[in-house]
Amino acid sequence: MPWFIKQETFTTAMTTLPAEQRRQHCEDHRAWVEAQRSSGLRIATGFLVDGDHKPGGGGLLVFEASSYAAAKELIQQDPMIARDLVEWSLHAWRPVSGDLQA
């Protein structure tokens, strides 16, 4: 099955929320990812950090889907996207070497 990568950065709507609200939205996102994993989907999420290990570069979601349309439909269920808290892009990824093969 093909792999896809969703890259995201927080919107101003997210960054201007109080820290506790931001944490809750992130927890909702992680719970959604775990629900996908529990259903059998190969999926992983994480955030980007700089050379000093400070976050702020956005996040990535790597997952399998049967098609680009199916991948887009799936990620639109992500609470962060559904709530317009991230700007995002979606790309099919064609691995050529390594552990994550289609």
* CATH number, residue 65: 3.30.70.1060
Amino acid at 44: A
Residue 22 domain boundaries: 3-86
Tens digit of pLDDT for each residue in 59-74?
Answer: 999 999 999 999 999 9
pTM of the model: 0.86
How many domains are contained in the chain?
1
Average pLDDT of the segment spanning 33-37: 97
| Inside any domain, residue 99 | no
Q: What share of the chain has pLDDT > 90, as a percent?
A: 75
Average pLDDT of the segment spanning 2-24: 93
Per-residue model confidence (pLDDT) at position 101 = 66
| Inside any domain, residue 41 | yes
| Inside any domain, residue 12 | yes
Q: Which two tokens stand for residue 74?
A: 């799936």
Give the count of beta carbons closer than 10 Å to the beta carbon of residue 101: 8
Tell me the average pLDDT of the chain: 91
Per-residue model confidence (pLDDT) at position 55 = 74
